[in-house]
């Protein structure tokens, strides 16, 4: 059967739906960078106040950092700690939104990420985790701001709607906004018709609005320091945020899966900031000794060597400071099958020789060097 030919008007009519489809597809592509992870719609380009906000966004000092490890360990563990996929997406989306809302601000994603790390470990503090939709579950709520134990005193401003406390305000969500500040800067950044401080998409964009409010260029460190200082009125907080921001900008981060909470970091004693410096040094020495290879019968290991391999004292070799004649003799005894007989003698010989060598090396002390010398022989 021959195909029926179409008239000019029929051909033109067929092209109209196709043109509409192509237009819609192009529009979808142009906004896909601002759509949320589940694709529920376009983001809201926020209005940025022309005057900087006076009230802080957060009033707690680094609640997302393990107090036992301190800020130094927090910075040193950025990469293994990781940033959840939905959080990383939210920070980059907020950067894009603020570039449209306030081009002069030049807000970088890494500055927002640094605040998110300090405030809630990217939405994972207090047993929370971020879903693919960016919402912290079961929800992040700070302590009651009741004025006790050095805390700020802020009576309820939202009838408990956001923080579930009708008496005092509490910081809420991954970026730890107090409800009164959220009322000024809250954003629907993922197009789901809700401004939710527990949603890191909304919270990150709101933090961007706060930082960009008023004059300032976040590429300038002094402007960034001023903006973060308004976010939280703590100089140590500002120092930590800017330090982490620089590390993130340099690529010191990994992307981790959504849906996992992070348990409090168990800090070994050598890094425990609740201990004195001398206690931490002593703990480091004990940990180093505990991690040294355990000697096999008939050998006296030298630090940095493994018993039973070439170049260790137990096989007659010598690697320097920790080798003894007793270890070499024991190696010969082992090779002749007499290790069990010679071991008591060679052990005494080795210890005696180690004591003599260390006494000759440090006859006038200090005792710490003598102890270190004996440690090198395994005693």
Q: What is the pLDDT of residue 146?
A: 93
Rounded to an integer, what distance in angstroms lies between the CA atom of residue 37 and that of residue 40? 8
Q: What is the pLDDT of residue 268?
A: 56
Beta strand ranges found along 92-195 (DSSP E): 129-130, 136-137
Q: 3-class DSSP state for residue 136? A: strand
Q: What is the pLDDT of residue 135?
A: 97
How are the residues of the chain apportioned to helix, strand and coil, as percentages rounded to the nearest 5? 45, 5, 50
* Model confidence, pTM: 0.61
239 secondary structure, DSSP code: H
- Give me Rg for the CA atoms of the chain: 32
pLDDT tens across the length of the chain (379 residues): 444 444 444 444 444 443 433 343 333 333 334 434 433 346 778 889 999 998 899 887 777 777 666 777 778 778 888 999 999 999 999 999 999 999 999 999 999 999 999 999 999 998 999 999 999 999 999 999 999 988 889 999 999 999 999 999 999 999 999 999 999 999 999 999 999 999 999 999 999 999 999 999 999 999 999 999 999 999 999 999 999 999 999 999 999 999 988 744 445 566 555 556 787 788 778 767 776 766 655 555 544 444 433 333 333 333 334 556 666 665 655 555 565 666 677 677 777 887 887 777 777 667 777 777 777 777 7
How far is the CA of 320 from the CAs of 176, 347, 355, in angstroms?
A: 57, 18, 16
Q: What is the pLDDT of residue 341?
A: 60
Most distant pair of Cα atoms in the chain: their distance: 113
Among 338, 340, 313, 349, CA closest to 328: 313
Among 108, 115, 66, CA closest to 231: 115
CB 342 within 8 A of CB 335: no
Rounded to an integer, what distance in angstroms lies between the CA atom of residue 131 and that of residue 258? 6
Q: How far is CA 227 from the centre of its chain?
A: 22
Among 235, 237, 238, 236, CA closest to 224: 238
Q: 300: which residues sit within 8 A by CB, 6+ positions away?
A: 313, 314, 322, 323, 324, 326, 327, 330, 350, 377, 378
Enumerate the domain spans of the chain.
41-263, 299-376
CB 379 within 8 A of CB 354: yes
Rounded to an integer, what distance in angstroms lies between the CA atom of residue 346 and that of residue 76? 45
């Amino acid at each position: 059967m021959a195909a029926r030919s179409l008239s000019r008007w029929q051909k033109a009519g067929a092209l109209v739906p196709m043109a509409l489809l192509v237009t819609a597809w192009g529009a979808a592509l142009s906004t896909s960078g601002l759509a949320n992870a589940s694709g529920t719609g376009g983001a809201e380009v926020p209005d940025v106040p022309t005057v900087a906000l006076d009230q802080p966004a957060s009033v707690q000092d680094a609640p997302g950092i393990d107090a036992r490890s301190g800020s130094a360990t927090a910075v040193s563990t950025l990469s293994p700690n990781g940033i959840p996929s939905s959080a990383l997406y939210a920070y980059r989306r907020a950067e894009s939104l603020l570039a449209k809302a306030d081009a002069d601000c030049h807000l970088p994603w890494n500055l927002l990420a640094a605040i998110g790390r300090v405030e809630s470990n990217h939405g994972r503090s207090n047993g929370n985790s971020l879903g693919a939709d960016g919402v912290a579950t079961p929800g992040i709520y700070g302590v009651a701001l009741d004025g006790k134990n050095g805390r700020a005193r802020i009576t309820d401003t939202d009838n408990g709607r956001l923080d579930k406390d009708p008496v005092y305000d509490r910081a809420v969500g991954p970026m730890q906004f107090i409800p009164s500040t959220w009322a000024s800067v809250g954003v629907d950044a993922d197009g789901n018709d809700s401004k939710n401080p527990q949603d890191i998409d909304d919270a990150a964009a709101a933090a961007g609005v706060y930082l960009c409010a008023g004059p300032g260029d976040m590429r300038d460190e002094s402007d960034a320091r001023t903006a973060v200082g308004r976010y939280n009125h703590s100089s140590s907080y500002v120092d930590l945020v800017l330090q982490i921001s620089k590390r993130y900008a340099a690529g010191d981060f990994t992307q981790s899966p959504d849906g996992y909470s992070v348990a409090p970091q168990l800090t070994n004693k050598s890094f425990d900031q609740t201990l004195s410096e001398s206690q931490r040094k002593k703990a480091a020495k004990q940990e180093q000794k505990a991690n040294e290879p355990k000697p096999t019968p008939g050998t006296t290991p030298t630090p940095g060597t493994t018993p039973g391999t070439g170049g260790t004292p137990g096989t007659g070799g010598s690697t320097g400071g920790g080798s003894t004649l007793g270890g070499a003799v024991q190696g010969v005894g082992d090779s002749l099958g007499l290790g069990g007989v010679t071991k008591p003698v060679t052990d005494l010989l080795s210890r005696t020789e180690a004591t003599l060598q260390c006494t000759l090396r440090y006859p006038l002390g200090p005792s710490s060097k003598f102890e270190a010398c004996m440690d090198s022989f395994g005693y």
